[in-house]
C-alpha cells in the first residue's frame, strides 16, 4: 500500500466528509436531524476523518480504485451499508422506528460516501 496516497486520500476524504456533513446535517436537513445542546466538534471531526481513512484504505489496499466514477460508485455502496448500520443502531431504542428518518439518513450517507469515494479516487489518480 502506498502510505502517501493513504494519508493524503484519508485527509482529503475526511475534509470532504466534514464539509458535506455540515452541508447536509447543518443546513439542508437541520430540521430533520436537529443538533443537541452540545456538539463535540472534536468527535465529529475524528469521525469524519475515520470515514476518510476507512475508504482510503479500502480503495488502496483491497480495490485499487483510482478512477473517479468507480470511486463514486464504490463510495455509494459503502454509504448504503454505513447508513443502514447507523440507522438501525440509532433506532434500536424506539418502540416504533421512524423509517423516514432512517431512509433520509441512508440517502445522506450514500451521497456523502459517494463524494468522499470520488475525491479519494481522484487523489489516487493524481498521486501515482
In tens, the pLDDT along 35-86 reads 777 889 999 999 999 999 999 999 999 999 999 999 999 999 999 999 999 9
Per-residue confidence band for 99, with pLDDT thresholds at 50, 70 and 90: very high
pLDDT of the residue at 33: 86
Quote the Cα angle for 49-55-59, to 5°: 140
Is residue 123 a contact partner of residue 12, using CB atoms and an 8 Å limit?
A: yes
10 Å CB burial of residue 37 (0-12, 13-18, 19+) is exposed
Three-state DSSP class for 94?
A: coil
Q: How many residues does the chain have?
A: 128
Predicted local distance difference test score (pLDDT) of residue 81: 98
Query: Cα–Cα distances in Å, from 30 out to 21, 73, 89, 112?
Result: 11, 26, 21, 16
pTM of the full predicted structure? Answer: 0.93
Q: Does position 93 have pLDDT exceeding 90, yes or no?
A: no
All three cell numbers of 120, joined, read 479519494
Amino acid at each position: 500500500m502506498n502510505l502517501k496516497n493513504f494519508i493524503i486520500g484519508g485527509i482529503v476524504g475526511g475534509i470532504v466528509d466534514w464539509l458535506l456533513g455540515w452541508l447536509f446535517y447543518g443546513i439542508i436537513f437541520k430540521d430533520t436531524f436537529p443538533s443537541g445542546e452540545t456538539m463535540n466538534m472534536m468527535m465529529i471531526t475524528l469521525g469524519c476523518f475515520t470515514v476518510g481513512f476507512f475508504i482510503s484504505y479500502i480503495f488502496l489496499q483491497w480495490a485499487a480504485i483510482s478512477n473517479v466514477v468507480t470511486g463514486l460508485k464504490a463510495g455509494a455502496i459503502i454509504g448504503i451499508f454505513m447508513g443502514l448500520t447507523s440507522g438501525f443502531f440509532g433506532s434500536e431504542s424506539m418502540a416504533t422506528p421512524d423509517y423516514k428518518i432512517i431512509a433520509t439518513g441512508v440517502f445522506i450517507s450514500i451521497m456523502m460516501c459517494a463524494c468522499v469515494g470520488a475525491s479519494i479516487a481522484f487523489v489516487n489518480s493524481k498521486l501515482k
